[in-house]
Structure 1
Amino acid sequence: MNTLPASSRPYCPHCLRPASACICHCVVEVDNRVDVLILQHPLEQHHAKGSGRLLHLCLRRSRLLVGDSFDLQELEAACGPMAGAWLLYPPTQPDAEGAATPAPVGALPQRLIVLDATWRKSRQLLRLNPWLLRLPRLELIEPPASRYGIRKAERDDQRSTLEATACALQQLDAGDTARYAPLWDVFDRFVELQRRARDHGMTARTAGAAFARHAAGDALAAPPARQAGAAKKA
């Protein structure tokens, strides 16, 4: 369930940012061919540097659910069967989490499940949701270097949720970089504005407003029809 922060300040119910820093009008629609289900850890829901919500608002075919434990039957009742779904997650060695089954080469999943969490919290999600361990895992093949310089990673091969998903969708879509180029453009601008906020000691509210002005100036505004569509997403 997506909830607004407990605050007297008005918040946008769609991007979950302060109303003065709403970025909904900056969202671009990306017509992804594979459905994406984002399982977001609660600590990421209102993280200023998190990219999961931005990803969700941009993808035409996506669903975002917040929690740390997801009952499989309830999840399938809400989102449809998980049969044929793949998990976007690095392969693991046989350990407490179990050995991962690689996704079959040359096939496509019915749905791609993405964990929006830190590396440590993503392992927690796996432990709390053992059904995820039974899913084939999609491994990124030679992904580009991360552009996510505003948030410290625990491993060199880690990417932000948006970066990893964009790479995965391109990989599944036979390397169709043009389809996902707008997603990268929005992400680059988001990172740049967050970096400026950090360097100049700006508040998150000021940074968000600056991002909105910057994105609007670069003609990244979504068409009016997308605004209505984004509002209906979970």
Structure 2
Amino acid sequence: MSDIRDDADTATCTDVQLSGDGFSGDSAWERDPATGRPRPPRRPFKARGSFVERCEGCRLPVLNCLCPYRVAAQSQSRFWLLTHPLEHNKPTNTGRLIGDILESTEVFTWYRTAPDATLIARLEDSRFAPFIIFPDDQPDYAERVVNIDAVGEAACTGRIPVFIILDGTWRQARRMFRKSPYLDHLPVLPLHSDRLTRYHLRKPASASHLCTAEVAAELLRQSGDTHAAATLDDYFDAFNDSYAASRKHHRLESPTLAMCRLLEQRSK
């Protein structure tokens, strides 16, 4: 699941195209991806933060750019983010942090009537062992539920474990799970954790609701990729603190402890 909460910091919908990196033009809003038919015009939505000067690399306000702290890590598992179209526009979305740290991460835009062809091809590729990350709270898919040990078992057979995260609000993620028949055959891996969210930028319904990057870090930790998990955790904390300071128009005077650890990794 994604950040599992709604956010006011949304870019102007008429100014963006939803693509792999989330930003570039506006054609995706003009036509329905399934039929190609023109969509009715959207009224421009000017949200809080839409006029902030942002770094083109990390998309954070230039006041506290995150780029100096970006560090590459390796993991035995991969992430595929199935992202709701509206989530691409949110600068507070943490899903992109996963791709900054793990270069093998892939992002696919979810449309109910037009599944991404590349994602379908990935799901049919026998090299991968995909798991969809979703709670085990409903009985109708109980037979598909597995635990974290299944990830290691898949790796032992020579397949690449893949965590599929539904990147959207909680309501959107529920709909994506229910309205995506091409996911119906996948094992469901619920994330059980005692960790509480450290995310400052969106208001959670519960402290136990982790944002996308926190979910990914915990999955890495539980599946044995502890170094990648720690790196992503530090990068998330750097993002969290940088963005929170920028909202108050405050420049961080010195790196935080998490930032210092990332800088030390970059220097090696």
Q: What is aligned with 1:195? A: 244
Q: What is aligned with 1:231? A: none
| 1:93 matches 2:138 | yes
Q: Which has the larger radius of gyration?
A: 2
Equivalent pairs: percent with the same residue? 27
How far residue 64 of structure 1 moved from its aligned partner, in angstroms, is 1.6
In structure 2, the CA distance between the partners of 1:5 and 1:85, relative to structure 1 (3 Å rule), is: same
Q: Any residues of structure 2 matched to 1:100-119 within 5 Å, and which?
A: 101-104=144-147, 106-108=149-151, 109=154, 110-119=161-170
Q: What is aligned with 1:130? A: 181
Paired residue secondary structure (2:165) = strand
- My pick for the range that moved more, 65-74 or 6-15, is 6-15
In structure 2, the CA distance between the partners of 1:172 and 1:219, relative to structure 1 (3 Å rule), is: closer
TM-score (norm 1): 0.72
Q: What is aligned with 2:36? A: none
Kept in 2, the 8 Å contact 1:90–1:138? The answer is yes
How far residue 214 of structure 1 moved from its aligned partner, in angstroms, is 4.2
| 1:218 matches 2:260 | yes
Q: What is aligned with 1:68? A: 111
In structure 2, the CA distance between the partners of 1:4 and 1:29, relative to structure 1 (3 Å rule), is: same
Q: What is aligned with 1:31? A: 74
Aligned length: 212
Paired residue secondary structure (1:37) = strand
Paired residue secondary structure (1:57) = helix
Which of residues 32, 42, 55 in structure 1 aligns to 2:85? 42
Kept in 2, the 8 Å contact 1:32–1:61? The answer is no
Q: What is aligned with 1:182? A: 231
Deviations 1:184-227 (A, max 9, x none): 112112212333344x3x3xxxx7xx479847973635759xxx
What is the aligned-residue RMSD (CA, Å)? Answer: 3.5
| 1:58 matches 2:107 | no
- 2:253 and 2:87 map into 1 onto residues whose CA distance is 21
Unaligned stretches of 5+ residues in structure 1: 225-234
Kept in 1, the 8 Å contact 2:217–2:229? The answer is yes
Unaligned stretches of 5+ residues in structure 2: 1-18, 26-49, 155-160
| 1:170 matches 2:221 | yes
Q: What is aligned with 1:140? A: 191
Structure 2 counterpart of 1:37, one-letter code: W
Deviations 1:112-150 (A, max 9, x none): 111121111111211331222332121223341111133
- 1:184 and 1:53 map into 2 onto residues whose CA distance is 13
- 1:37 and 1:152 map into 2 onto residues whose CA distance is 25
TM-score (norm 2): 0.64
Kept in 2, the 8 Å contact 1:56–1:63? The answer is yes
